Structure 1
Amino acid sequence: MLMKRAFSNLSSRLLKSESDELKSTIQFLTRASKRPSLPSLLDVDSNQNHEERVLKVLNSTLPEVDSQRKRVQTHYDILFSQLKDIARQSSQKPLENVLDSSEKLYNYLILQQYMGKLRTVPQIAKIVLSKNFQDFDKLWENITLFDAKQQLVLSVLLYYRCGRPIIRQQFEDQWITNYAQMHISVQRLLWKCLTKGYRTSADLQNIVRTIRRSIKSWSAHDEVVLYQSIYTKCHQLPATKESLTKNQELFIATLRIFAKNNVNKKDMLKIVKLSIENRLASEVVDEASVISIYQYRFIRALDLAVQDVYSAYKGKRNSGELQNELQEVLANVNDEEQDIKSQMSLKFI
């Protein structure tokens, strides 16, 4: 039935022309519905001409594909241009405006990446380390949207937040291999991740020794970062063999004393923050003669911080050993402070 209707429509189109050739084509189509005769089968050229005419007419009824494609392309160009404008406006909004939900934080992270504005580690860390961010599974599933360096950072941040074993399984070798190239803040978090869940001090020491050997060109910088990371248990760490500046030595000695004597965590954290603010990890023994304002600021602040703890524990029961150790630290701190002062004075003579 459908075929008859098609032929009828086709015939009406063909009959609009008075061409004898087209009329003969109609006759050909009419005969085609009947059993073919031998002459019709042998007349190959004639059949081919008829078929070409039929195809030409059929094609004339099709929509104009190129014009339709151009119209659709124009539509999508306009649409994506509008979406790009919306995305650009959204990406320019302050992060503080999207901190209230995990979904908004995730969308903001992806949008910043899409717009090419996700350039620094602090940008990524502020989002993923936000207490409201919880879309760990979604971010892990889409981690390939980020480049290799970003994936390395995100893997550490994600493992620190959610502790999924698969993250460590896939990235631990890369963490160790690329440790030296990581941002210092990520290095600190990585140490927390790698030393998580140990049972005894011997376990912690074995973990640290193994990682130390695996990381190429271990230095005083790395030793300071290690203590900044696991300061509450740092008295269990194996002794360092690195050449340290006097400030770095005093920092480590003070933290070990605080940790061993279970000094208030906020007092330990204060020392750590001082070391970060004054770039203690960047001090180098070979450049010790070049005194910077950061060196003086740190030693002065350390002096005050240790004095505060000394005063807080003065006269307390069973604090005799702590008091003696802190007195020794204070004496060394005072000597170093005076030495730095004299060198800074000579510098300006």
Structure 2
Amino acid sequence: SSEPLLGVHLSEEAVFQCTTCGACEYQCPVGIEHLPLIIGLRRGAVNTGKWEDEYGGELFLKLERNGNPLGLGQLERDRFIQKNALPLFDGSQDYCLWLGCMGSYDPQGREIVLALVEVFRHLSVTFGVLKKEKCTGDAARRLGNDLAFQQLAEFNIQQMRAAKVTRLISICPHCVRTIGEDWRELGVQFDIVHHSVFLERHQDKLPPAAPGGAVTYHDPCYLGRYQDIYDEPRAVAASSGAMVDPPRTRQRSFCCGAGGGLVFLGEETGTRVSHTRAQELIDTGASVIAAACPFCNSMFRDALPALKPEGAPVLLDIAQIAAARLRHEGPGRQ
């Protein structure tokens, strides 16, 4: 048929409300790869100017002007680095700590970074951050803006090469996926690890956790289905209390709603994905919800108070759970 697929057989809304979580591909009995098709449709709409979305346009403009989807200036990142005495990477440290957009600018994302730094310092692991960083291009890539993706990636690659970066660590599964996989198309390959893998590898060197209540863990799509990392974050979360799983977990985990660039777009149609998943986590009865992605953390941070204004579970990243052990505290205690 000569009819265009987008707009005739598939609505623009359906194509651009996909979170790229990968659940459809995992469940498909005949192995159809849906995501390249969906992202390809997005790419065509963006490249031809047919996708006229207010939030999408603002997102691309922020990436172009500020280098991050939050639209904040480099000075904000500089102040965070200086305030917390984060060393710059000079090529001699064990890791280059990739802050990412959430770790650089989001208040809760920063708390996750600082918890990981606390563990680094306890273990005498040396690290440094890049003086300049832009978004990896994850959201641009998933939404079909390959030009923005390539420009962001090339800037970061230049910074890394100048700093002689060989090994990175990140709190964000989206950054790990984009740097480790998507950037290969540009002819580079960096060794990057998600912090859950590092924490699990070293958790026997941390003090025992103080007794705590039950913990439930949410599997991030970009950590689980995309990278097959399930056991490591669970092991860290389980160190602080008995684990209780939600009904959909591991390969069948339900998305938080942030992926595919949707966290930066407008209101969803129907029930919010984040509310559906947060309710599943609340219903486990756990006192702590453990996350391993700053975007999941952000989505649940908004959903939990709306669903349970009083007595909601404490939301923590696994780095915060590990750091609490250094203070001999149960997770969530101050």
Alignment TM-score > 0.5, same fold: no
More strand by share: 2
Q: Which protein has the larger Cα radius of gyration, Structure 1 or Structure 2?
A: 1
Report the TM-score, using the length of structure 1 for normalisation.
0.28
Higher helix proportion (structure 1 or 2):
1
